[in-house]
Structure 1
């Protein structure tokens, strides 16, 4: 399949680079709480269970705002939506830096989560206006590596900033970085043109839209949501509990824990980009989306789940556990790259933005629940040893395997595509 004649490679990759920067900031904002957890919980007198609630609160309104803005992305230019997000994130760092209680911090995290929730689906929707279907895996993978690079920088720099100036300074620096990105985007961000209807009658555009109840009841779509939920569950643990696991569970110092976390994040990049490239290569050679996307996600998720289980069962040294955890956390992230492409393949372009947003909203509930569940497990079993944290990782393994079984049974991206096309044709008749 040849690329669309409207494909502009240079501009498309320029937008990818800018949106990768946004993803980097997004994940710096997410991970900072986990990396300052030890001094923060000591100063604010938070138990593990309370910290888990505060950490998970970032995702309480994440889903709602993601869906609402996702529908707006169907009607308004993503350029302006993304600019508004960048400015709001920057402003919201200040009250976090000045928080003096658990309640104040919780309110800040809830509002920030609502502001950051739509970032990934809107970014993906923006990119899909620049890249045709068979070229979409890699740019989304690059955006995801912006997120990974953000966590890598966080692991290396946040502990140093905390040691030198205190944990609050991190939030002030994040505000400055967010403001700088917003200026760049205002100057260089543009809207893509692929998939934009040309002189099409309004009736024809409406005919291509399908009832959301029909799309959301489709088993293939629901299977994508399930895979995303488990991937976000794992991400939620990574953002909030892995640094504390390294420090309190495995006995590393704060600086060493940050470096170990950087190793975990650095492993994600080659794994995610490599598997995404493999999927795109398979598609280019005519392999079906079922094999090139679905089967690859499933194999990666199962391998990650088995690695989580091995982490709990095998007698390993601390550095060996760090290495296994890095692999276990990296493999499920393939879902972040390929799930939007699967949904884009199955639904009309006019509803793509909202469906990717709904997927992110429902999937991100995993990240909302995971920190609280882990907090409860650590509270019951004690956080001074690694076993309690590893029980929490085993929960992730069970969820990953359950989602894979559902996907292998019901996720057939080509079948829903034909069914939805048929419904669209009937609506137009």
Structure 2
């Protein structure tokens, strides 16, 4: 019998880090661009908020409804498609979603009513609802568990760079031409990504979903969805997404109407939360992976490290109504909301720790569907608060205070509930300490 057949050698092999397949980083880059387009599509309504409200004569409550309408079918679509990707290759699902995004932009190029704008945003939301979970599921077919935190962070950066790169370009179109053409430009960019994905996109080789469904142990969905880590991820990310959806819809109108900046100035200021958030996301992904390589449990490296910034960010944001000066208020808003980015990096890998691969697409989709419900509520709440306040600035400050309270509460729930390593032991029977695959990992890649 060869040395490789001995139990000792087998244990050693099991403890080694699995290699990353060739082509993994190419697909990661394409999915990064996928998320970039995704968030550029999301931000355009907020960026063009003042021109849209002026042209269509919208009240704050109506504009808040427009911001919320994007999320009306977002969660339902995410769940439905999440189960589909357990059976259908992610390559074709991603392609279909991107085509929907592109086509829903073009009706806005001409004269458009408020009703048409709402319908197109609802349709776009249905197409974008599954995007993050499907992209995450796709990328996990290219990286073993111990190497997933960094690609997750890179994928998450698509959202930040979608804003950082798109805001100046789209704002230039809005200022020099029309907000209508900004939507058309996004439609063209979406079709370009579709062409690139058709040429270069591939399915990951690490997991054969049909084989896994037939051979790996399955865990009842009720157990997965009622586990404390799943509930903790939903609760923590709910608060983070409340802040994000306000940023997508109300940040630029706040800069223009609340603080008195011009549309051109607001375009550049609107980038700041995303630049800071991008830094937080990359640092979180890298540091968490280093901590795990040095022996930290995923409870600490992912659960605590992802939740604590939410609490800190909420406390910072809570001080905003009590300071004077536009510059300081913007700084507190940027830092407070930007710290939320940490939770997006750590929750999908935590769920992937104890969810069988053949069920992972659905679990990630349900997770996304639940936490993005805050996207329906937050913009509408802000619009109502602004319209009913004594003056517009007071309304914004009340809305940001509500946001701060929700962030602190969700972060505390994350600290209390996120125990992925013990969840894995309970549901799958693996040791509590660390997965065998993590032993022997020297550095993140």
TM range (shorter): over 0.9
- Which consecutive residues of structure 1, in runs of 5 or more, have no partner in the other structure? 424-429
**1:304-315 alignment, distance < 5 Å:** 304-315=313-324
Secondary structure of the equivalent of 1:59? Answer: coil
Residue segments in structure 2 that go unaligned for 5+ positions in a row: 1-14, 431-445
1:341-398 residue CA offsets vs partner (Å, 9 max, x unmatched): 111012111111111110110011111110000001111115642x321221111211
Q: Write out aligned runs for 1:350-361 (5 A).
A: 350-361=358-369
1:197 is displaced (CA, Å) by 7.0
The 5 A counterparts of 1:201-216 are: 202=214, 204-205=215-216, 208-216=217-225
Deviates more, 1:300-309 or 1:391-400: 391-400
Q: CA deviation at 1:3?
A: 2.4
Partner of 1:184: 196
2:12 corresponds to = none
Q: How many Å separate the matches in 2 of 1:99 and 1:48?
A: 21
Return the offset for 1:76.
0.9
**CA distance in 1 between partners of 2:392 and 2:415 (Å):** 39
Instruction: Tell me the residue number matched to 1:341.
Output: 349
In structure 2, what is the equivalent of residue 427 of structure 1?
A: none
Structure 2 Cα separation of the partners of residues 244 and 212 of structure 1:
42
Which residue, out of 376, 383, 400, partners 2:384?
Answer: 376
Structure 2 residue corresponding to 1:63, chosen from 55, 58, 75: 75
The answer to whether 1:4 aligns with 2:18 is yes
1:406 Cα deviation from its structure 2 partner: 2.0
Listed as ranges, the matches of 1:251-330 within 5 Å are 251-315=260-324, 317-330=325-338
Contact 2:40–2:162 under 8 Å retained in 1: yes
- CA distance 1:72–1:415, change in 2 (3 Å): same
Is residue 12–residue 131 contact of structure 1 (8 Å, CA) maintained in 2?
yes
The alignment's C-alpha RMSD in Å is 1.7
- For the 8 Å contact 2:74–2:130, the answer to whether it is kept is yes
Find the partner of 2:175 among 163, 172, 187: 163
State how far apart, in whole Å, the 1-side matches of 2:210 and 2:261 are. 59
The answer to whether the Cα contact below 8 Å between 2:74 and 2:129 also exists between their aligned partners in 1 is yes
Residues 373-427 of structure 1 deviation map (CA, whole Å, 9 limit, x = unaligned): 0001111115642x3212211112111221222222222111221121149xxxx
Distance 2:362 2:55 in 1: 41
Count matched residues. Answer: 416
8 A Cα contact 2:164 2:271, kept in partner: yes
Alignment correspondent of 1:410: 417
Out of 148, 163, 166, which is 2:160 matched to?
Answer: 148
Per-residue CA deviation, residues 238-267 of structure 1 (Å, 9 max, x unaligned), is 000000111111111111111111122111
In structure 1, C-alpha distance between the alignment counterparts of 2:64 and 2:192, rounded to whole Å: 31
Write the distance in 1 (CA, Å) between the matches of 2:47 and 2:330.
16
Residue 21 of structure 1, CA deviation: 0.6
User: How many Å separate the matches in 1 of 2:211 and 2:365?
Assistant: 27
> In 2 relative to 1, CA 2–21 (structure 1 residues): closer, same or farther, beyond 3 Å?
same
Distance in structure 2 (CA, Å) of the matches to 1:15 and 1:149: 17
Q: Identify the match of residue 257 of structure 2 among 229, 248, 255.
A: 248
Change in 2 beyond 3 A, CA 1:73/1:201? closer
Match in the other structure for 1:83 = 95
Q: Which of 61, 64, 77 is the equivalent residue of 1:52?
A: 64
